[in-house]
Structure formats: C-alpha cells, structure tokens
Chain A
Amino acid sequence: MAGVVSCAFFFYSKPLTKRTRIKNPMEITLKNITKRFGTLIANDNINLHFTSGRIIGILGENGAGKSTLMKILSGYQPQDGGEIWLDSEQAHYRNPQGAVSSGIGMLQQDPLDVGAFSVLENFIFGNNALPTLAKARQSLAHITARFGFQLNPDDLTSNLSIAQRQQLEIVRLLALGVRLLILDEPTSGISASQKQQLFSTLKELAKNGMTILLVSHKLEDVVALCDEVAVLRGGRIVHTAEMPITAQELAKTMFGDIKPPPPRHSVKREKPILRLTGHLTGGRFNVQVSDFALYAGETVGLVGLDGSGQERFLRAITGLIKPQGGKLWLKEKDHTHTPYRRLMREGVFFGASGRIEEGLIKGMSLTEHTALLTEQDLTIQWQRAQNLTQERISHYQVKGKPQSLIETLSGGNQQRVLISLLPDTPTVLSLEQPTRGLDVDSASWIWEQLEARRQRGAGIVFSSAELDEVLAYSDRILVFFDGKITVIDDVTQVNVDRLGELIGGGA
C-alpha cells in the first residue's frame, strides 16, 4: 500500500510538466503460468519476461489465451499454477486493486469508468493519495496537459468518446503509480487521429520507463508500436521475437496462411426478395428509407458512425421493429405486421452484435439452443436434438460438447455456435457487426459460411466498423449519415479513405 501512496504522491507533488519519469521501473517475470477452465487449458506453462521501458505486443487468435493471461497478470483472475515475479519479489495479489498496488494496471477494452461520475470523480476513484479535490484537480490538469489530452474535469464521463475514456483511464492509472500498463484492444472504436495520439502517448510513457503490454489482433498496430512480440496459440507461447517484423510475417506465425477475400461476383437484380420503406427513428436520428430493395445472392454493407441508424435498419428489415409510415415486403408480400418469429419461417434471420446478450442464452446448453430452433413438435426429442448438435459441432469445429453451457465457450466459439444456428438456405440474413472482436482468421471463417449461404441465394445485409471488410464483401454499400442514406452501387469506385469521408458527412 505504501508503494501506491508514495507513487501517487510523487505524481501530484512533482508537477509533471517536464518529465514523466516512472519511479522504480520494474522487471516482470511470469513463471509457468497455468490456467484451466474445466477441461480447457487456457494458459499452459507460460514463461515470459518483460523489461521496463518497452512495448510488448501480445498476439494470438481468439481463444489463444491472451485475455486470460492478461486477466491473471492484472489480478482479475487467479492462476491455477505458476508465479508472477516483480523485480526480485514474488507477487501475491488476489484482485485488481492488489495488482494496482503492485504497479500493474489494465486498460480494459471497454474502460471501467462510472458513467454518472464526472471526469474528476472518476480520476480520484480508488485513489487515497489525493487529499483534496483541489489537489486532485491540479494533478489531473498536470497529467492531461503533459500528454495533450482534451479532458474537462467537470464533463460527465458518459458523454465522453471511447478515446477520451481511454485517456481518462490512463491518467487515472498513472496517478495510482502504475508501472506496467496493459492495454486490451485499445484501438477498436477510436478514430485514426485518436489512435496516433494514443500511440505517441504510449511511446512517451515507454521512453520514461513504463512497461506496456499491447493485446491486439490488429497487426498493423503491433507493427507500428511494439518493440517485441509474443504470440500465443492454444494457450502456449509459440513465438517471441524482436521487432521489426512485417504484418504478413506476424500473421503467418499466428494463423498459417490467410485466405484472400472472395472474387467479385455479379448480382442479377430482377425481382427483389425484400423491400423496405418508411422512417426509422432513434435517439438522435430520423432516417428516411425511400425504397430499399434486396436481391437474392447480394451482400449489402452498412456503414456510418455509431448510432446513425444502421442498427434500426437491420432490425426493420427483419420485422423486429416497424418502420414508421412505411412497409416491409418479403417476396412481394406485405409483411409489415408479421412478427420476426413468423418471418423466421420464411428464412429471415437477424444476428445481433452482442452474442451472449442478444442471440445466445446464458444457462442453456448447445443442445437446448439447437432444439429451440429445430424442434417444431409439441414434445422435444432430446436425442435427435443432441445428435444434430453433435453434427454441427463437428461441422463448424466448435470447441465444446452438446451439453456444454453456452457461456463456458470462448467468444470465438460462441460466434461459431451462432453461425451454426443459421438456417442452411436462408432468404435474408441481417447481421449486426458479424465479425466484431474476432481475429482475421475467425472473421474469414465467418465469411466463408456466409458466402456459402449467399451462393445458395440468400440476400445478406450487414453492418461493420471495419471499412476494409465492408469493401471486400459488399456488392452495394449504404452510408448512414445525418438521417440520410447514400447508396454506393459500384463498390469498386470507392476506397477506405473515401468511405471514411462519407461516414463523416463529406460530400
């Protein structure tokens, strides 16, 4: 505890205007870290050594064990075996607070702040070394000025962008005297310029003795930032190397060879399988859909800033919400008032982005999920449902058993289950960020499955924050901005930069 107090005291008592020296740089050694979840070995005898002042990339596909390892290091989970050594002492913390006291702090993918608090309140949260609010304000001002962060101490945290919330969390951890900073996918959801700022901050911190672990599956980030990398696969360290290494070489150590996106195909636009008209309203938008038509075998990508109406659009074409003053037709039949459950029988399927919150059911087994969709009789033939589940598990290479509860599977495997629940020959697939949070390999696997269904005649509409992905797979793109939808009919005429401009409202 004394360590935190003195470190934090150091930060506020010596204004950080000139240098941000990290007091007592720290060597971190992981010895034989092992973690099991039931029969799954998430971390298998991991040995790593981190020297201070370096940025280390922790790489691996989904389910490789990166998150588990970082959670152990930052005190969110205890390890089953192995030791963590900080300098020449063994660490024995049991929770995140303990880890922070030892100088290890983690910046979560979704920053763990309190939305109802102001920036200043979040800043002092859990920090006992800031005696008065005035001192805290001063300390906050110093650190933010040092890094050029735009943080108003009195703003409500819920009004901040993800990038600002990250900055706040970094500032908070710095004030707590953290000497090892772990960042989990810090660049998802922030803009290119914000990313540049974050990177320069991290480089600055490293120069001053901070050790930084960057967990990411964005290889270009790792190439741009890291001094060394450690690659995990199946819970083991399979590769460690000094940078520079190219992104291609990195990808190879992670996955083997990557499949290229599918070649362009042509869509026959004769009879639409689906049409939508009407207004879609939400918190801050009112989108006019004049006449959207979807054709069999076509993939339509939706782009736009978060909350521009794409989510509503995806739900409206599947009957989950009703377009105001408009209609929904499926194969030229009016289905405006048909509930989603009935449209499912026509082959319409909606997939939400939050897998476990919306789509899968915690506390139910894989077999129960299958049975919900396939068992149409009054009584359920459990044996039949279980056999079908077993078939799908092997076909879709899900790591799990028919009787496994869905929440015991890793995120990537949950996504596979969700895909396995899709009908084989759907009419319309409406998918909200179908590859969110997945690595390149898992994402391309998902697209293989979707492409197969498209070739069998499905119309696919999907949203994504990854513009590369939208450009690679879409036949048409709808850009959502300020209540209007701009249609890009010829995808070959735009690139990522142009698309980025359109999203921001550029002409």
Chain B
Amino acid sequence: MTKPMQSVLFALLPIAVSLLITALLIIIVGNNPLEVVHLVLSGAFGSSTSLGGVVNFWMPLAFCVVGLVVTFRAGLWNIGIEGQLMAGAIGASYVGLFVRDLPTPLWILLAIIAGAGAGMVVSLIISVLKTRLGINEIFGGVAMNALVNVYSIYLISGPWQPPEGGSAQATQPFPREVWLTPFSQDFPVSLPYLGLLFGMIALVSVLLNNTRWGLQLKATGKNPRSALLLGVPIERSTLTAFLLCGALAGMGGAHRVLETYHSLRPLISGGIGFLALLVVLLAGARLLWAVGIAFVSAAILTGSTRLKIALQLDASLANVLQGLVVLCILLFNGIRERFFDEPRAD
C-alpha cells in the first residue's frame, strides 16, 4: 500500500466505522438511519435561517479552535479554554450592560475588546501559574473553569441582576444598539464578525508558519529542553501562546452574548470550549482541518436538534456520533502505529 493511499484510508475509515455503528444504533431503536441523515442535513442546511444557526454556533467554536491550535503547537493542554470563553462573555457583557452613549460600531468593538481582554486575563493566570510556580496547565485550567463559572453565576444573581429582581436566569438584555447586526432576516449572521473570524484564522496561520515566534512555539511544544539550548525563550513562548488563545476564546465568548443571547447567562459556553478541544484533537492540531471539522460538528449538532420533534430520538445522538468518531480515530491511529509505521533507523 502506498503512503498517500494509507493516509487517505486512515482518515476515512474511522469516520465510516463510526457512522456505521451509529446507523446500527438507530436501527436498533427502530428508526431509519437514512431518514435521520436527511433530518439532520435539512435541520442544518435546509434553509438559510438554519444555515445561519449553524454558522452562529460555529463561530465561537471556531475562535476557540483557532486558539487551541496555537496552544497545542506550544505543547500545552489548554483545558482552561472553557473558562477563557466564559470570561470573554463576562467582559463583553460588562460593556453591554454598563457602558452607554457610544456609537454602535465603537460600542460593539469595545465589547469585543473587553471580551478578548477578559479571556487573556484568565489565560495569563493559568500560564503564570505554569511558568512561575510549575503548576500544570491542566490543573490551573480546570480550577479557572470552575472559578469563572461560579463568578458568572455570582454576577447574574448578585451585582448584575435585573432591577426587577433576581431569577438567577440571566441579566437583563443589553440595549439593542450593542447586538450584532444580522446580515438579513433570513440569514441572521453578523458578517463583520465572520470577517473578524477569517481575519484571525489568516493571522494565526501566518504567525504559526511564517514567523520566528511560530517556529519557536513549535520548538517549545516538541521539546522544551532542546528548544532552550537552541536559544528559544520557552517561558515567553508559553505565555504568549496562552495570551493569544485567551484573546481568541474571549472573542468567541463575546459572540455568544452579543449575537446569541444578548444577555449574560449561567453556563454561557454550552460546553463549546470542551467541544473545541475534541475538534482540535481530531484534526491533529492542523488549523484549516480543525476549522473545517468544527463546522461539520456545528452542523451535526445544530441539525440534530430536530430529531426529537420528528422522530422522538434524543438529540444527544449527535454526541454519541461524536464520541464514536473520537474513539475510532484514536483506535485507528493506534492500529496504524502498531502495524503500518516503519520503525526508524537510529
């Protein structure tokens, strides 16, 4: 078997196998898999409105994914992405709730900047804990996720609660001026924000592949001890990778409140940060692959919300499929390493 053929085969096989298993599950519970596929696809792409829903779910996910590609390149497990996303939502909410009398574009811009800044603060804490005190970024990240979540609940039920009394459901909605303007009624997507996302993808791609910083990041991620001896400022690499990721996740969080909810709610992230980790793992930390897979995930998740109504099937079927894909990919990677990869000369 030739090398490229092998690569293609090992990319497609796990997806095929997990689709097959999911199809079997659907048959076992007494439904037609083709019908399910049809429903999911039409739920995602059936109309421009549903496509808009997919894109709006995809955007914060994609921001996180882009950020995680950066931290993965630096060899970091940024579990704290969830907290960085939530912090972004809190930062943007502050601007939405308490800043007044700004022209709309400037106001929104300020909200995005506040979101990015808040995300950076969280990632800065995690990275300083790591570089200065030697606390693994996974522990720091998990702790910050919990902290930021609790803090958002405190804000919603405390200082930021609506004047009519706290239901702990949400803050009061932001003024309309700071909501993102949809492209149209039928396609409710903010094009400038989409532009911002594409700009960030391009920026990160250039940073990683064409700058000294990106190369140093790669060296730090692959072997910090060697990187140090080759003159790489490894602490600075770690710190800056975290900061960039925090800013990107913060922009994703800002999108959650400025576009989707128009207020701050508990669990504002909806697990998007963790989903982003999964996506980046699947994509092997390759930027464009990751962004693409994020879109497919967003489509399946958004599309499957209609399953319940139409077929009495739980929408968590999409999660089952996702879990299966991850397991299968890991399994097939293992098989490939075990049986197909050549051992290397030494």
Interface residues of A (CB under 8 A from B): 37, 40, 42, 67-68, 76-77, 320, 339-341, 344, 350-352, 357-364, 368-369, 371-373, 375-380, 382, 407-408, 410-411, 421
Contacts and interface: CB of A to CB of B under 8 A. Distances in A.
B310 to A, nearest CB: 47
Given A368-B215, A379-B211, A421-B230, 14 more contacts: A37-B344, A340-B231, A341-B231, A344-B231, A350-B229, A358-B226, A361-B230, A368-B218, A375-B212, A377-B212, A379-B212, A380-B210, A380-B215, A408-B345
Given A380-B210, A380-B211, A361 B231 contact: no
Contacts of B233: 339, 341
A428 B213 CA distance: 27
B222 A361 contact: yes
Q: Which of B210, B211, B344 has its CB near the most chain A CB atoms (within 10 A)?
A: B344
Interface in B191-227: 210-213, 215-216, 218-219, 222-223, 225-227
B346 A77 contact: no
A42 B342 CA distance: 13
Given A361-B223, A372-B216, A407 B232 contact: no
Nearest to A360: B226
Nearest to B235: A339
Interface string B227-270: 11111110000000000000000000000000000000000000
Contacts of B213: 378
A98 to B, nearest CB: 16
Given A359-B229, A372-B231, A410 B345 contact: yes
Contacts of A376: 212
Nearest to B225: A358
B163 interface: no
B343 interface: yes
B229 A364 contact: no
B232 to A, nearest CB: 7
25 contacts: A37-B344, A37-B345, A76-B343, A77-B343, A340-B229, A341-B228, A344-B231, A357-B223, A358-B226, A361-B222, A362-B222, A363-B222, A368-B218, A368-B219, A371-B212, A376-B212, A377-B212, A378-B211, A378-B212, A378-B213, A379-B211, A379-B212, A380-B211, A407-B344, A408-B345
Size bracket of the B interface: 20 to 34
A448 to B, nearest CB: 23
A37 B211 CA distance: 32
A40 B345 CA distance: 9
Contacts of A371: 212, 215
A369 B230 contact: yes
Nearest to B234: A341
Nearest to A372: B230
Contact of A364 (B219, B345, B346): B219
A350 B343 CA distance: 30
B35 to A, nearest CB: 45
Given A340-B229, A371-B215, A380-B211, A68 B345 contact: yes
A67 B222 CA distance: 27
A87 to B, nearest CB: 28
Contacts of A362: 222-223
Contacts of B228: 320, 340-341
Pick the most buried of A40, A376, A379, A407: most chain B CB atoms within 10 A of its CB. A379
Closest 6 CB pairs of A and B: A37-B345, A361-B223, A363-B222, A361-B226, A344-B231, A341-B231
A360 to B, nearest CB: 6
Contacts of B222: 361-364
Interface string B321-346: 00000000000000000000011111
A352 B229 contact: yes
Counting chain A CB atoms within 10 Å of each CB, the highest count among B211, B225, B228, B230 belongs to B230
Residue among A341, A368, A411 with max Cβ neighbours from chain B (10 Å): A341
Given A350-B229, A361-B230, A372 B215 contact: yes
A67 B345 CA distance: 9
Contacts of B219: 361, 364, 368, 372
Given A363-B222, A372-B231, A373-B230, A379 B344 contact: no
B184 to A, nearest CB: 39
A449 to B, nearest CB: 18
B211 A358 contact: no
